[in-house]
Chains A and B, each alone.
Chain A
């Protein structure tokens, strides 16, 4: 049986400041080495100033993954030299003197399968290396420390995955969960990264590092399984080693020479006392935790009779569920859900589009109500939504400007219906004997009004005219 375990790194991008200093947690908007201070640069004499909220947010993640949360947490130093690490050690967590890491064992359901979590730890992200120069001979290394010290939560799973698909499903659920908790925006570049370890039946554990995205992770795992199976079939022993994902060639390559000397000399970080997280604090964090995705889904189904598939889509994306929860009324819930999952999804499918979108819950509420009252047809509503997302204008103004309003004027509609009756004598005859075919005539009216005829009024008038 193939066994795959993951180490997922998740930046707490929704924090204001870094883990140990007051520089910005979201380093993305800065010039090179602009988001730095003596602390995150590890200058002589500086000390870490632990971010209270980072501890709380990381605890929340542990709780959401059903992990045990300890009374006290401790920090350790992981010692190794690397240019992206200003102190040449990383402050991280371990469980060598009891369970002192921010989260202990836990688990999460992926479909029907339980994936066990071994440990969750809070640590600092290193800076970033930029390599310049084409050949390795004249290569130079540049360092940008803006990211150094960004709060990072590492989630370590047991090797409970059996194939890349399970990995993919888990990562989708995990990133939805992280987003739903409001601790991070997983769509930000580099906000969520993962390493994997893979072993096939009868083989040994191989670690894969350096994987840029979740998409590549799946590929890397797939490649690694194939590679190991191929070795196995040729009776070649699989070496226990660390391999790096080569993004360009889409293969894993042995990193043995680099890693064999690793000896991190972990020991306690004396500059951070053990942090007491009392039961009251933990209870409070638990009670303040946002509603879970599964609970949202159930609520949507049971309270509003929203179809299961729609509820699934709606609940798993915080952007949508927040919009929904702020727009719905008992009467319009189904319509709001519909608009979001059929029309809105295509309009705001990327982070950038979401940031630019001018749509408010109030807009959405108006739009759903207008569809229900017949003020606007569903078809036209889609166009109106598009316009609102773009401009943020009020629905009434949009309807007026784009002439999207339903033709509800009886006289005007009667005129059009008379035209249709004149043009379609055969269909009119049929409709007299078979009321089902009247829909054909409704369609014709819609055609002439570009879909803006009030459907129920049209039907009513047609019936009056024919029968």
Chain B
């Protein structure tokens, strides 16, 4: 069962503020119940398979600077820094 604490933990983890964790307990529980159908899929012994690429097909090691001054198109502060909030210590 989904608990209020779990919802609060996840909300903290995802940096998503939710006004009413209780409401989410129900919402998430409904989804999770639906996901539980996976238990009956009989896939325990299944191997997962992933797409593959040959090492030779990967990018060659070359330095090519980006054509524009990217920082000027992003939020910047005190010259060319990006400003972040105060870190908790």
Interface residue? B39 (CB, 8 A): no
Residues of B with C-beta under 8 A to A168 = none
Given A33-B80, A130-B81, A265-B13, A53-B87 contact (CB < 8 Å): no
Q: Please tell me if the beta carbons of A261 and B63 are within 8 angstroms of each other in the complex.
A: no
How far does the alpha carbon of A139 sit from the alpha carbon of B85 in the complex, in Å?
9
Partner of B53, one of A31, A145, A276: A276
Q: Please tell me if the beta carbons of B61 and A141 are within 8 angstroms of each other in the complex.
A: no
Q: Please tell me if the beta carbons of A22 and B76 are within 8 angstroms of each other in the complex.
A: no
Partner of A141, one of B52, B64, B76, B87: B87
Report, as a range, how many residues of chain B touch the other chain: 35 or more
Question: Binding site of B, secondary structure by majority: helix, strand, loop or mixed?
Answer: loop
How far does the alpha carbon of A23 sit from the alpha carbon of B87 in the complex, in Å?
28
Closest Cβ–Cβ distance, residue B7 to chain A (whole Å): 14
Q: Please tell me if the beta carbons of A139 and B86 are within 8 angstroms of each other in the complex.
A: yes
Closest Cβ–Cβ distance, residue B86 to chain A (whole Å): 5
Q: Please tell me if the beta carbons of A52 and B51 are within 8 angstroms of each other in the complex.
A: no
Which residue among B62, B81, B85 has the maximum number of chain A CB atoms within 10 Å of its CB?
B81
How far does the alpha carbon of A140 sit from the alpha carbon of B82 in the complex, in Å?
11
Can you show 24 pairs from A to B with CB atoms below 8 A apart?
A: A16-B62, A17-B61, A22-B64, A23-B66, A34-B69, A34-B80, A37-B65, A38-B66, A41-B70, A52-B55, A52-B59, A52-B60, A72-B52, A81-B15, A140-B83, A141-B84, A141-B85, A144-B82, A263-B9, A265-B13, A274-B51, A274-B52, A277-B55, A278-B54
Binding site for A on B (CB under 8 A): 9, 12-13, 15, 48, 50-56, 58-66, 69-71, 74, 76-89
Binding site for B on A (CB under 8 A): 15-17, 22-25, 31-38, 41, 49-56, 72, 74, 81, 83, 97, 129-131, 136, 139-145, 258, 261, 263, 265, 268, 272-278, 281
